[in-house]
Amino acid sequence: MYKRLSAIMFPLTALLLVGALVWGYQENQEKNSILIKAENQYQRAFHDLSYHVERLHGELGNTLAVHSASDGMHRKGLVNVWRLTSEAQNEINQLPLTLLPFSKTEEFLSKISNFSYKAAVRDFTKKPLTEAELGNLKALYKNSGEISKDLQDVQNKVISNKLRWMDVETALATEEKAEDNTIIDGFKTVDKRVSAYPELDWGPSVASIYDKRSVKMLGGKPVTAEEIRAKALKYADLGSNANVSIRENGTGTEWASFTATVNSPQHKDPISMDFTVKGGLLISYNDNREVGQPRVSMEQAVAAAGDFLDKKGFPGMTAVSADRYDNLGNLTFVSSRNGVLIYPEKMTVRVGLDTGEPTGFQASDYVHEHQEKRQIPKPELTLAEARKKLNPDFKETYNRLAWIENEDAVELLTYEFGGRINGSQYRIYLNAADGHEEAVEEIRTSSGAQDK
């Protein structure tokens, strides 16, 4: 019996063992194949990065070599600088540098990219490169040469010592002996060098991208929790017997704020609000009630939202867009002055389409950008003169004056034209002084959306 059993089991066991060995071998081969593929990708991205930074240095030199009045060559050079910097940024994103401090270099390349792009796309016949911008290019030429040399030093070590990027990834993931890795040391050296560079004056259009809007810009004195409690009772409008709990956020930081939560027997769900510490300004409101099936129109929702803002201390707001998502309406309002819409001063309101009552709003932009003494000039072009600047195929549906912030972070007066062309709906903003196109927006409408 045992002989018969062993005669059956031995071949079966041997077969299973061979199968396991074959499976293990195949798995190991697949794993090695994946590792080799990843290593090849890392090596390619790194060597391309070194090459493009070297090319960037050369292109900056070419741009500086021509006469200061050579607008055509300056534009061509800056376009190439933008393209090469974008390539370098893309290659950095392909390397396992997530856990490695390389942020200063990434930000540096990002600023070069934005600076060169914004300079290249403008009209050099009206705005040639300034002395300050030429000074920036000289500094960038010097700095990029140093960064290129550091990267080439790392590249030479990678090639001569046959270093692997997979070892870098392992070292960063395990934090074991990461300080002894040649590649890691090289990238740390580059980032340390970049962090020591003096900050350049990139101009308002680039600086605005990196300037984080701060509550330090707000006026008003700091308020107390008791003052916020009184404000919360007023805004919730649920009676003086409502219970209010106050939580302070970010104590001791520039982002300090208060969150007030109001509970009342008159209202099933709590209402929460956020206030700035400086001035006690309301920046968000959220009614956590459950929204039922839609029964009111978007037009009714817009009217209800306008009344809601009036009661909350934001009178005279104008709805500029309305989008419907299921049983909610999301509405954007901006302030207006003498018939001019002030787009920087905007807020969004969320309305439940079951009753038409607003369930929340966000007013951060309005709070940070509102100015009582904003100076708005008269348009230099007439409406008819501005309209001539439009594409003849553009089918205008409305027009109005709008105060916007353009891509150079400059606030200015424009004519806003709404209409259709090529089967899509657009808003086109033309400078009210010279008719220059400041911005073009395609309006992507969702179910029930309206362009106001």
pLDDT in tens, the chain (452 residues): 555 555 566 566 656 665 566 555 555 555 656 667 777 888 888 888 889 999 999 999 998 888 777 888 888 888 889 888 888 888 888 877 655 667 788 888 888 888 888 888 877 777 888 888 888 889 999 999 999 998 888 888 888 888 777 776 666 666 554 444 777 778 888 888 888 888 777 776 666 665 555 444 566 688 899 999 999 998 888 877 789 999 988 776 666 789 999 998 888 889 999 998 888 889 999 998 889 999 999 999 999 999 999 988 888 899 999 888 888 999 999 999 999 999 999 999 999 999 999 999 999 889 888 888 888 999 999 999 999 999 999 999 999 999 998 877 789 999 999 999 999 999 999 999 999 999 999 887 654 445 55
Alpha-carbon distance 266 to 285, whole Å?
A: 18
Measured CA to CA, the distance from residue 374 to residue 411 in angstroms comes to: 10
- Who contacts 66 (Cβ-Cβ below 8 Å, separation ≥6)? 73, 74, 77
pLDDT at 445: 62
Tokens matching residue 284: 């968000």
Q: Which class for 347: exposed (0-12), middle (13-18), buried (19 or more C-beta within 10 A)?
A: buried
Q: How far, in Å, CA of 121 to CA of 116, rounded?
A: 9
**DSSP run (H or E) holding 404:** strand 395-405
Query: In terms of C-beta distances under 8 Å and separation of at least 24 residues, what long-range contacts does 182-189 make, across chains too?
Result: 182/154, 182/157, 182/158, 183/154, 183/157, 183/158, 184/100, 186/150, 186/151, 186/153, 186/154, 186/157, 187/97, 187/100, 187/102, 187/105, 187/154, 188/100, 188/101, 189/150
The pLDDT value recorded for residue 18 is: 59
308 CB neighbour count, 10 Å cutoff = 19
- Residue 216 pLDDT: 47
What is the DSSP code (8-state) at residue 53?
H
Axis crossing angle, helix 131-160 with helix 2-65, rounded to the nearest 10: 150
H-assigned helices in 272-340: 298-311
DSSP state of 178: G
Please provide the size of the chain in residues.
Answer: 452
Q: Does domain 383-451 have CATH number 3.10.450?
A: yes
Q: Is 409 helix (H, G, I), strand (E, B) or coil?
A: coil
- Which among 428, 396, 433, 398 is positioned nearest to 413, based on CA atoms? 433
Note the helical H segments in 196-330.
204-210, 225-236, 298-311
Rounded-to-integer distance, Cα 234 and Cα 231, Å: 5
Distance (Å, whole) CA 37 – CA 35: 5
pTM for the whole structure: 0.67
Residue 400 is predicted with a pLDDT of 96
Contact between residue 308 and residue 358 where contact means Cβ atoms under 8 Å apart: yes
Could you tell me the CA-to-CA distances from 102 to 93, 177, 226, 369, 419 in Å, in that order? 11, 18, 45, 33, 46
Sign of CA dihedral 275, 276, 280, 282: negative
Look at residues 389, 399, 394 and name the one whose alpha carbon lies nearest to residue 433: 389
* Burial bucket for residue 428 (CB in 10 Å: 0-12, 13-18, 19+): buried
Q: Check residue 210 and give its pLDDT.
A: 58
- CB 350, CB 327: distance < 8 Å: no
Domain boundaries, the chain: 17-207, 225-369, 383-451
